[in-house]
Structure 1
Amino acid sequence: IPFIFLTARGSARDVTDGKRLGVDDYLIKPFQPEDFLITIQNKLQRTAELRAVGQESLDDARRMLIQMISHELRTPLTYITGGFALLADELEKPSDTTGEHVQATLSLIQNGTQRLNRLAEQMILYVQIISGHVAEQVRILSECWELEYLVNDAVSLHTALQRERGVTFEYFLPEDDVIAIQGVKDLLLTAFSEVIRNAIQYSPEESQIDLIISRDERYGVFSVIDRGKGIAPEDQATIWDVLIQSQRERSEQQGTGMGLPIVKGIITAHGGDVYLYSVPNEGTEVTLQLPLAATSQC
Structure 2
Amino acid sequence: MTALLAQSSDAPVRPPAARSAAVWWAVPPLAIVLLVAVYPLIRVCLESVTGVGTQSSWASVLASEAFRDALWRTVAIAAAATLGCLVLGTFLAVVLAFVPFPGSRLVGRLIDTVLALPSFLVTLAFTFLYGTAGAVNAAIAGVTGDRAPVLNFLYTPAGVIAAEITFFTPFVIRPLLASFSMLPRAQLNVAASLGASPLRVLRSVVLPEAWPALTAGGSLVLLLTLNEFGIVLFTGAKGVTTLPVLIYTRGIVTFDLPGAAVIATVQIALSLTLYGVYRLVFARLMAQRGRASTDVAVEPSQ
Give TM-score scaled by structure 2 length. Answer: 0.25
Q: Greater strand share, 1 or 2?
A: 1
Q: Greater helix share, 1 or 2?
A: 2
